Amino acid sequence: GAVVSQHPSWVICKSGTSVKIECRSLDFQATTMFWYRQFPKQSLMLMATSNEGSKATYEQGVEKDKFLINHASLTLSTLTVTSAHPEDSSFYICSARPVLGKGKYNEQFFGPGTRLTVL
């Protein structure tokens, strides 16, 4: 149980285009999903917290107008990188926290990640 999928697994796009990444919890409902970014040889950096039915909360330094997050259902959150530029090339990883947030289920379950390359 506790499987999270991401689509696409990798994407290459031209500078100036927008890219949408989907994050789905397959066998549980998640009121909260998290979006991380990881540059090579660096750790995961939280970009934003996505709550179902409400606006996402962005971490300091993350442009909310550039990284659009939608959490329309308890199993789906999307991250859209608008007007992507080469410096946005990174590994984007989502995680989901199950609705029942007690005990074992305090953990976040990670998706497999999406490798974005902007040319």
Partner 1 sequence: QKEVEQNSGPLSVPEGAIASLNCTYSDRVSQSFFWYRQYSGKSPELIMSIYSNGDKEDGRFTAQLNKASQYVSLLIRDSQPSDSATYLCAARNDYKLSFGAGTTVTVRA
What is the contact surface with partner 1 in residues (CB under 8 A)?
Answer: 32, 34, 42-46, 49, 91, 93, 95, 97, 101, 106-113, 115
CA Rg, the chain, in Å? 14
| Distance between CA atoms of residues 24 and 16, nearest Å | 26
Nearer to partner 1, 57 or 82 (CB): 57
Q: Shortest gap between Cβ of 110 and partner 1 (angstroms)?
A: 5
Q: How far is the CB of 43 from partner 1 (least distance, A)?
A: 5
**Rounded Cα gap, residues 87 and 70, in angstroms:** 23
Greatest Cα-to-Cα distance within the chain, rounded to the nearest angstrom: 44
**Nearest CA among 46, 6, 2, 11 for reference residue 24:** 6
Cβ distance to partner 1 smaller for residue 14 or 43: 43
**Which CB sits closer to partner 1, 5 or 82?**
5
Q: Tell the smallest beta-carbon distance from residue 8 to partner 1 (Å).
A: 14
Going by C-alpha positions, the residue among 100, 115, 113 that lies closest to residue 27 is 100
**Closest distance to partner 1 from the beta carbon of 54 (Å):** 14
